[in-house]
């Protein structure tokens, strides 16, 4: 029976755990031990983690790995990745090594504009509202000058503010549609603060100037950033696509391009195709303290921008040159938020050479492109399961609580045998029966 509680947030962490254990784990003697064993032994670090969110009772660990040998615009990087899925880091590393010897990855930031909107209704004449907006527009900048001052010193700020008439879609619905440059900050708090001031200014100046009524619905940034774009690509001569002796470079290129073409027109395939890209992107976004949920939402909206969900990557052979590329929206930051608080995030950014937001956009895009290349290479040659299941083997062995000796024996066995859950179970049972 689930129970409610009043004043939970006012309890100490220990009291919160006592309530959780007594309410939900009365028959589990290990629950409290498990919760507490993930606490950091350094009280200062633990307090820092406790204060990231509300009602913290413990820490949830994810592996923090690295993928070396990424050559990006002539510079070598080791990329930090935080993810729980087997084979992702290995696949990224393998793709990095493959392209390191073929010129590496080329990237560029196409644009870095971010968007925020004030959503409101107005029941008066549209022409009157438009005339009023044109008069009051300078006041939006004036009234936010205290908010934008430091951002402008860093080279960013408000780029433009537009009035958008959306009444054909929803009765009496209008927007203030604002564009921003937040330089090295993700900028969510900055954008939202500006928008809320826009709303205040709009309301304060509208009442004496317009016959109709303005009703502010909400003021919020958008995580859809189709004009915050970065491009990443790799290319080489088709004849240099050599690695797998079982398929010619020409046949590999043909199958690879066809696989991308399928993802461009088949949404069922495109979702999984793009999920593979996000394996790489999310892992770096998370390792660098950025908002992977915002990135995911924006990326998938961008993949649907033409009315059908489609592949984010593209491939072609032209004049004997194989090219594989992607343009993707990424709103990232390297200052503010967790980037200045989380010790591992600080190390991750230092490992990357303390990049600017634009440099991080390029690194993250490369991780996604590399991951997609690795997945498509496996899919069109050996099949995805061969490599993935071998990387997943250790998880299965841990699930069966294999001893170090059992792990050593079974890892050796599965170097030349297919890994499946049932085959691992069968072989570990044989080992234990013989002992």
Percent of the chain with pLDDT over 90: 80
Q: Work out the pLDDT band at 183, boundaries 50, 70, 90.
A: very high
42 is catalytic: no
How many other CB atoms are there within 10 angstroms of residue 275's CB atom?
15
- Which pLDDT score is estimated for 413? 82
275 is catalytic: yes
291 is catalytic: yes
> How do residues 302-353 score in pLDDT, each as one tens digit?
999 999 999 999 999 999 999 999 999 999 999 988 888 899 999 999 999 9
The DSSP annotation for 281-308 comes to HHHHHHHTT--HHHHHHHHHHHHTTTSS
From the candidates 85, 152, 240, 264, give the one annotated as an active-site residue.
85
- Which pLDDT score is estimated for 40? 93
**What average pLDDT does range 143-154 have in this prediction?**
96
> How do residues 97-133 score in pLDDT, each as one tens digit?
999 999 999 999 999 999 999 999 999 999 999 999 9
Contacts with 29 (C-beta within 8 Å, 6 or more apart), sequence order: none
Rg (CA), the chain: 26
What is the Cα–Cα distance from 385 to 423, expressed in whole angstroms? 14
**What average pLDDT does range 122-148 have in this prediction?**
96
In this predicted structure, the answer to whether residue 383 has a pLDDT above a threshold of 80 is no
Instruction: State pTM to two decimals.
Output: 0.88
How many other CB atoms are there within 10 angstroms of residue 219's CB atom?
23
Structural domain boundaries in the chain:
8-50, 64-105+234-327+360-380, 114-222, 388-434
> How do residues 357-374 score in pLDDT, each as one tens digit?
999 999 999 999 999 999
**What average pLDDT does range 266-290 have in this prediction?**
97
What is the Cα–Cα distance from 2 to 93, expressed in whole angstroms? 46
In this predicted structure, the answer to whether residue 55 has a pLDDT above a threshold of 80 is yes
Q: Work out the pLDDT band at 206, boundaries 50, 70, 90.
A: confident
Q: Work out the pLDDT band at 391, boundaries 50, 70, 90.
A: low
Q: Are 124 and 172 in contact (CB under 8 A)?
A: no
- Which pLDDT score is estimated for 142? 97
**How remote is the C-alpha of 334 from its chain's centroid?**
14
Q: Work out the pLDDT band at 386, boundaries 50, 70, 90.
A: low
From the candidates 358, 388, 390, 392, give the one annotated as an active-site residue.
388
From the candidates 50, 196, 282, 291, give the one annotated as an active-site residue.
291
Mean pLDDT of the chain: 93
In this predicted structure, the answer to whether residue 390 has a pLDDT above a threshold of 70 is no
What fold is seen in the domain 114-222? Answer: Alpha-Beta Plaits (3.30.70)
How many other CB atoms are there within 10 angstroms of residue 223's CB atom?
19
Three-state helix/strand/coil letters over 228-244: CEEEEEEEEEHHHCCCC
Q: Let me know how long the chain is.
A: 435
In this predicted structure, the answer to whether residue 426 has a pLDDT above a threshold of 90 is no
Region 64-105+234-327+360-380: CATH code: 3.90.770.10
85 is catalytic: yes
**Residue in the structure block whose two tokens are 């990855």:** 105
In this predicted structure, the answer to whether residue 207 has a pLDDT above a threshold of 80 is no
What is the Cα–Cα distance from 217 to 171, expressed in whole angstroms? 13
- Vertex 279: Cα angle to 329 and 356 (nearest 5): 45
**What average pLDDT does range 400-421 have in this prediction?**
81
From the candidates 166, 255, 275, 413, give the one annotated as an active-site residue.
275
């Amino acid at each position: 029976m689930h129970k409610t509680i009043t004043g939970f947030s006012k309890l100490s962490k220990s009291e919160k755990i006592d309530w959780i254990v007594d309410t939900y784990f009365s028959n589990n003697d290990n629950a409290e031990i498990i919760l507490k064993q993930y606490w950091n032994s350094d009280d200062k670090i633990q307090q820092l983690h406790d204060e990231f969110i509300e009602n913290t009772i413990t820490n949830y660990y994810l592996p923090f790995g690295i993928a070396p040998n990424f050559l990006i615009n002539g510079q070598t990087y080791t990329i930090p990745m935080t993810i729980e899925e087997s084979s992702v880091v290995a696949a990224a590393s393998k793709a990095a090594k493959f392209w390191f010897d073929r010129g590496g990855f080329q990237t560029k930031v196409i644009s870095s504009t971010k968007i925020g909107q004030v959503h409101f209704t107005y029941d008066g004449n549209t022409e009157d509202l438009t005339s009023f907006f044109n008069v009051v527009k300078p006041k939006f900048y004036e009234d936010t000058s205290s908010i934008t001052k430091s951002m402008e010193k860093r080279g960013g700020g408000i780029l433009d503010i537009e009035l958008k008439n959306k009444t054909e879609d929803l009765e009496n619905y209008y927007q203030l549609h604002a564009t921003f440059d937040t330089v090295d900050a993700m900028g969510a708090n900055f954008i939202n603060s500006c928008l809320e001031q826009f709303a205040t200014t709009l309301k304060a100046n509208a009442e004496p100037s317009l016959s109709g009524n303005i009703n502010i619905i909400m003021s919020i940034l958008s995580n859809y950033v189709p004009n915050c774009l970065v491009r990443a690509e790799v290319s080489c001569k088709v004849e240099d696509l050599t690695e797998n002796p079982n398929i010619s470079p020409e046949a590999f290129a043909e199958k690879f391009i066809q696989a991308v073409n399928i993802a461009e027109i088949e949404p069922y395939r495109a979702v999984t195709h793009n999920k593979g890209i996000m394996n790489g992107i999310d892992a770096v976004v998370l390792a660098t303290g950025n908002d992977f949920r915002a990135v995911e939402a924006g990326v998938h909206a961008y993949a649907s921008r033409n009315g059908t969900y489609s592949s984010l990557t593209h491939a072609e052979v032209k004049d004997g040159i194989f090219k594989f590329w992607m343009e993707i929206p990424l709103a990232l930051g390297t200052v503010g938020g967790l980037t200045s608080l989380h010790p591992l995030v600080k190390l991750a950014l230092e490992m990357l050479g303390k990049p600017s937001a634009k440099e991080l956009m390029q690194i993250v895009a490369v991780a996604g492109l590399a991951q997609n290349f690795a997945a498509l290479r496996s899919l069109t040659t050996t099949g995805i399961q061969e490599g993935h299941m071998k990387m997943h083997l250790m998880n299965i062995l841990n699930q069966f609580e294999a001893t170090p000796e059992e792990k050593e024996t079974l890892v050796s066995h599965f170097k030349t045998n297919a890994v499946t859950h049932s085959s691992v179970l069968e072989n570990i049972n044989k080992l234990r029966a013989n002992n």
